[in-house]
Amino acid sequence: MSDEAASAVLAGLDALRGDVEDWYRDLHAHPELGFAEHRTAAEVAGKLRACGYEVTTGIGGTGVVGVLVHGTGPVVLLRAELDALPLRERTGLPYASRAGGDGAEGRAVMHACGHDVHMACLLGAAHLMAAAPGAWQGTLVVLFQPAEESGAGARAMIADGLAERIPAPDIALAQHVFHAPAGYVGTRAGSFLAAADTLRVVLHGRGAHGSKPEASVDPVVLAAMVVLRLQTIVARELAAAEQAVVTVGSIRAGEGANVIPESAELLVNVRAFDEDVRARVIEAVGRMVRAECAASRAPREPEIEHLSSFPATRNDPEATARVAAAFGRHFADAVRAERLTPSDDFTEIPRALGAPSTFWVIGGTDPAAYAAAERAGTLAADVPVNHSPRFAPVLQPTLDTGVRALVVAALAWLAPPAA
């Protein structure tokens, strides 16, 4: 990439900034759940067609791909996500979500993970690249993926023939906003994001009147014992140098205070960077659940169902070095990031397409607010993280940084025109 090419493409950002911010506000105000992103996909597709992309919709359900060809050269794929989360927003923003979900359950929906940022930034980068054809040559593929939060969206696009619908990429690139100061850009070679698995555990007891606990096998008490026991996996079964997270994110049991129910359901989330650690933790979950059920004289074996799985994100070393060098020339706050325990299904796409990939993160927190919380030692309490109902990236410099990062990374591959 020449710095001149980046300067030529990004020269249009000042004029486009207001549009990018408006796109973000609109996307944030109208979130949709995975595989139900119909309005979102239509908005994205319309904006891509307006600046000259050849657009294909409905890939994997609601996925959208835009292709722009400027002569011969490398094929670069940039990816963003379409879906939001089933969460009631508490940011107080004037453009806060009032969405009620897919209608089936009336759930509140919110862009609490930053996918609205990712879409707005990718649309901005797509427009800038289309407006500066003299600065680069090659093929740009912009991919908007459904259902990232469930881990099913990338696989759905692949199963729906993604490889036959787009030019084969030479490199696949993606980014994610998180709770670092806005303006921050970070990546690292090799292991970056954790693998993740979600398990549904059903514990079977024997119901009874609340006044007669001796007649029951109480699944609520059993669930409490399981939750506590699972905390020992990381604390007592892994070495200090091994990293994993075990979270029980949901417990459901019973309807009344004086009724001991028949069953309890737990949703368990496991995260690990290493495949061996991942397998050992999942085995330990099953072993401990079954042991606690035996200790409680449960009348039936527990049900353990694997609901979803995300691959670990491992950045290609050569591709990451190339992007990091470009970021280092362009951003004042480009750093080598630490490994992060969140997960993403992005790597399913380059793996299926046979392309190297790299993934980076950008900050979205007001820098002054972040610095104040850091000085006070209150980052955990005062800086909302992804998936919080109060997660609200500041518009700037978050959006500018995201647009710039995508353009700069893409131009690390797309060749300048022949003289």
Could you list the residues known to form a binding site for Mn(2+), using ranges: 113, 115, 149, 176
| Torsion angle of the four alpha carbons 96, 48, 85, 151, in this order, in degrees rounded to the nearest 10 | -170
What are the Cα distances from residue 369, in Å, to 111, 331, 400, 402?
Answer: 21, 21, 19, 20
Residues forming the annotated binding site?
Answer: 113, 115, 149, 176
Q: How far apart are CA 331 and CA 349, in angstroms?
A: 28
Tokens at 223, concatenated: 């669930």
Can you say whether residue 11 is alpha, beta or left, with left for phi > 0 and alpha for psi between -120 and 50 degrees?
alpha
For residue 63, give every residue at least 6 positions away whose Cβ sits within 8 Å of its Cβ, in sequence order, or none. 41, 57, 82, 143, 144, 145, 146, 153, 156, 157, 160, 162
Per-residue exposure over 133-160, b if at least 16 CB sit within 10 Å of its own CB, e if not: eebbbbbbbbbbbbbbbbbbbbbbbbee
What are the Cα distances from residue 250, in Å, to 198, 208, 247?
Answer: 11, 23, 9
